[in-house]
Amino acid sequence: MLALNKHKRMLPIPMRLIALTALFAIILSAVTAYFKKDQLEMQLLQQARQALLAADLPPVAIAFEGRAAQLSGPLADDYLVDDVVRTVSNVAGVRAVTHELEQAASEEAELRLALFEPEFENGLYIPPRFHPLEKYSLDAVQFAYATADLMPPALPVLDRLATLLQANAGIQVELSVHVDNQGTVLGQMALTELRANTLRRYMLAQGVLPEQLLTTGYGATRPIASNATLQGKQRNRRVEISVLQDG
């Protein structure tokens, strides 16, 4: 009888092991699915960027949620909207495309064009510093290594910027994301675009109006320091603000 009672007391142990094994399998499956989703979104983003480039179409902000693409930003000509949407829709693996693409006003279109013809000196990009808001420091806005996850010190800086934009509804700005020259060109562009989309989602969540904000990833195309040194690479991994309209 004593041996039987002992056996009964030991029965729950294997059951707990089975439950823990099942829980571990569920967690592992969820983590694997998350990373596969992130990898898929980056792959589709790269392919969409390449498709627009091959079609000689202007770059726009692209965000993927799974296989669904969201396009946003101004275009110089209204007829380009259908071309951009169709080109991204034709990328293999893309299942749906929605957009907030709009024709830019003439003055804004000129500003947009100027942004894609940046000023350089000795191969280094010269950021605009004409508007007082362009002097607002975003040095603390950094991301975890090789990810689009904002580091905690970035949040109060972005919150303060969101407050400034809310108090000046006539201002339209661009938040641009840059990296150093590590990795491939496509990888650099994809990473900065993902980070730009993270910035846009965060700022909109803080109450910034969509029409006030353009977020763009420029990869490593606009270095402000030499990538030959660690200090230079660190300076090139940055977020900048440019005022596009103040009315």
Q: How many domains does the chain have?
A: 2
Using alpha carbons, select from 58, 161, 162, 69 the residue that is nearest to residue 112.
58
Res. 106: pLDDT tops 50: no
Percent of the chain with pLDDT over 90: 42
Q: What CATH number does residue 96 fall under? A: 3.30.1340.30
Predicted pLDDT of residue 24? 64
Q: Which residues of 131-157 are buried (b: 16+ CB within 10 A; e: fewer)?
A: eebeeeebeebbbeeeebebeeebeeb
Do the bridges between strand 68-75 and strand 120-121 make them parallel or antiparallel, or are there none, so unpaired?
unpaired
* 78 shares its domain with 137: no
Same domain, 136 and 228: yes
Helix, strand or coil, per DSSP, at residue 220: coil
The confidence score (pLDDT) of residue 101 equals 77
The pLDDT value given to residue 128: 81
* DSSP one-letter string for 11-59: THHHHHHHHHHHHHHHHHHHHHHHHHHHHHHHHHHHHHHHHHHHTT---
- pLDDT on residue 229: 95
Last residue in a domain, options 63, 85, 103: 103
The pLDDT value given to residue 185: 87
Which tens digits make up the pLDDT trace of 228-241?
999 999 999 999 99
- Compute the distance between CA of residue 128 and CA of residue 229 in angstroms, rounded to an integer: 24
Q: Do 120 and 77 belong together in one domain?
A: no
Q: Could you tell me which residue, 73 or 56, shows the higher pLDDT?
A: 56
pLDDT at residue 205 above 70? yes
- Domain end residue (candidates: 84, 103, 122): 103
- Boundaries of domain holding 89: 1-103
What pLDDT, on a 0 to 100 scale, did the predictor assign at position 113?
47
- Residue 53, pLDDT > 80, answer no
pTM over 0.75, yes/no: no
Instruction: Indicate whether 179 and 134 sit together in one domain.
Output: yes
Return the ∠ at Cα 232 (arms to 231 and 237), rounded to 5°. Answer: 100
Please say if the pLDDT value at position 90 is more than 50.
yes
Q: Give 78 or 206, the one with higher predicted confidence.
A: 206
Whole-number pLDDT of residue 224: 95
Domain final residue, candidates 103, 131, 147: 103
Confidence band, pLDDT 50/70/90 cuts, at residue 109: very low
